[in-house]
């Protein structure tokens, strides 16, 4: 495996680009292959069986392209399909999900605390965060906010929409009394200001893009896989090209992105 | 073709059940096969190419089951994939979409009028309603409200959500001065009260489930295809089984529904 092989990353849509952006800022020498599975977006309301099928299908595609590591940049897939993706990748290719790094960070910075967590229905119903945090002595109260990811995708065109949805979900003072909030969906950092406005003053919000990109760096360093090259390449693929995805991607990455539509990879 | 063969109907999700409910109330002797393509829900943000692929895949499945007529109970598919579905069905099997019956109704009841229309991005961007209405001397101003269908699916669990989204879309008095509103998405009648609350007093809202089910009856009668049997059967299939769909379906139809998950039909 060449150190200059790309990192493979995927999400159902543009949310994972928040992870991609943080990663490329931290590791500008890395090459990246990103797949947004827009044909099946959003993942948050799909069943575990379907999520396993989609995640392994995309992972196989990225492995076939010679990726040296995989980042599952979606909480719904990370909560429901990691065993299958890890089995596919085998021992040589590290697979990083977005749940475990955040859990370890919380265990270190909020020991014995009580967290709030918002995420998609697929993520919340999996119970994975609860189980991992409880095992580390941290209580967590989870709230499914299934419309929020779609509202954020829509928010690039109509800012009042994501604002209204955040307000509706937090309307009953749900966050009061908690030590920190976990944004258990890679879309949510995109409306950080709307979310902060609904939280008690001073409440911490865990910064998943930063935490996860730091973890990816650690894993690559441990394995001796950090890129050495000076001409990294980036490729962004979607399974269904739409203008609204292109607009959202440019907004997140801060520059126009060339998006390539690819045929849906056949599930194994 | 037997008169007692079922009517085949599909949508991306539960929105089409508003049409199914009106149809079964009007024609209680008819058998129905309904497919909700929840694996690809929502259709409203998919590209025309993908909508053609999904619509023809499901239509073929319903034709293979011997359906005597097809109802495309989704505006996004009706606006982007009818030529393909009609070609597949051939001359013997009538295919009814949800756009043309509403346009004809508007031409009759609002001649020379100005309509407002809300729908998904796929429906609005197709321009089909504008083109058909303009040809009949009716002006229409269209507004894409892409989050509303998902908000309605979510609304079965959190009523404040769909309310907040309707308010956000109508915030600027967009509907003022128009003669009537077209709900160009089969989900929207489910939040009729929220929508009416945002409209000028007395403004008409076109009742698509009633209009379309009436049109289906006319077509079946003209072709001599009305059912004569006394033991109609109904079957509801989804391409991805989720509790949230089951809850929504029971809410709309007013009774528990047995939902069968089926493998995604291969596109031709």
Residues from B contacting A (CB-CB < 8 Å) are 39-42, 45-47, 50, 121, 146-147, 150-151, 153-154, 157-158, 160-161, 163-165, 167-169, 171, 240-242, 244
The CATH number that domain A7-98+210-261 falls under is 3.40.50.1860
Residues from A contacting B (CB-CB < 8 Å) are 39-41, 45-47, 50, 121, 146-147, 150-151, 153-154, 158, 160-161, 163-165, 167-169, 171, 240-242, 244
Residues 6+ apart with CB under 8 A from A232: A4, A28, A29, A30, A31, A32
A159 has pLDDT over 90: no
The verdict on a CB contact (< 8 Å) between B154 and A161 is: no
What residues are paired with A118 via a beta bridge? A143, A183
Is the CB of residue B99 less than 8 Å from the CB of residue B179? no
Please pick, among B23, B74, B96, B133, the residue that the annotation labels catalytic.
B74
3-class SS shares of chain A: helix, strand, coil, % to 5: 45, 15, 35
pLDDT score for B73: 97
B4: number of Cβ within 10 Å: 18
pLDDT score for A265: 54
Fold adopted by A100-208: Rossmann fold (3.40.50)
B93: number of Cβ within 10 Å: 22
> Per-residue DSSP letters for B128-156?
HHHHHHHTTT-EEEEEE-TTHHHHHHHHT
The reported pTM is 0.83
ipTM of the complex: 0.75
Residues 6+ apart with CB under 8 A from A18: A186, A187, A189, A190, A208, A209, A252
The verdict on a CB contact (< 8 Å) between B50 and A240 is: yes
Q: Mean pLDDT throughout B234-249? A: 90
For chain A, the domains span 7-98+210-261, 100-208
One of 3.40.228.10, 3.40.50.1860, 3.40.50.1820, 3.30.470.20 is the CATH number of B7-97+210-261, namely 3.40.50.1860
Q: What's the pLDDT tens digit per position in A81-122? A: 999 999 999 999 999 999 999 999 999 999 999 999 999 999
Determine the 3-state secondary structure of A63 from DSSP.
Answer: helix
Q: Any idea which of A254-263, B49-58, B103-112 has the lowest mean pLDDT?
A: A254-263
Rounded Cα distance between B259 and B257, Å, is 6
Is the CB of residue A9 less than 8 Å from the CB of residue A20? yes
CA A222 to chain centre: 22
Residues of A labelled catalytic: 74, 185
Rounded Cα distance between B125 and B123, Å, is 6
On the 0-12 / 13-18 / 19+ scale of CB atoms within 10 A, B34 is buried
Q: Tell me if B7-97+210-261 shares its fold with B100-208.
A: yes
User: Nearest CA to CA, how far is B119 from chain A (Å)?
Assistant: 14
Rounded Cα distance between A17 and A177, Å, is 31
The verdict on a CB contact (< 8 Å) between A168 and B171 is: no
């Amino acid at each position: 495996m060449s150190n200059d092989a790309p990192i493979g990353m995927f999400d159902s849509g543009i949310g994972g680009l928040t992870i991609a952006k943080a990663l490329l800022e931290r590791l500008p020498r890395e090459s990246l292959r990103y797949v947004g599975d827009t044909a099946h977006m959003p993942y948050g309301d799909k069943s575990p069986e379907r999520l396993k099928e989609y995640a392994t299908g995309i992972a196989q595609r990225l492995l076939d392209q010679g990726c040296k590591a995989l980042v599952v940049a979606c909480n719904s897939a990370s909560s429901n399909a990691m065993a299958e993706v890890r089995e596919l990748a085998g021992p040589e290719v590290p697979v990083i999900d977005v749940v475990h790094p955040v859990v370890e960070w919380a265990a270190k910075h909020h020991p014995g605390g009580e967290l709030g967590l918002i995420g998609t229905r697929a993520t919340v119903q999996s119970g994975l965060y609860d189980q991992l945090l409880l095992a580390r002595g941290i209580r967590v109260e989870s709230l499914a906010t299934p419309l929020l990811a779609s509202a954020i995708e829509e928010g690039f065109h109509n800012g009042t929409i994501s604002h209204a949805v955040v307000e509706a979900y937090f309307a009953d003072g749900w966050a009061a009394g908690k030590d920190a909030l976990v944004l258990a969906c890679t879309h949510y950092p995109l409306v950080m200001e709307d979310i902060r406005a609904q939280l008690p003053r001073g409440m911490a919000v865990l910064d998943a893009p930063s935490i996860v990109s730091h973890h990816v760096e650690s894993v690559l360093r441990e394995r001796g896989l950090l890129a050495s090259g000076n001409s990294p390449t980036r490729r962004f693929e979607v399974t269904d090209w739409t203008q609204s995805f292109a607009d959202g991607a440019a907004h997140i990455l801060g520059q126009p992105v060339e998006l390539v539509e690819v045929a849906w990879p056949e599930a194994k």
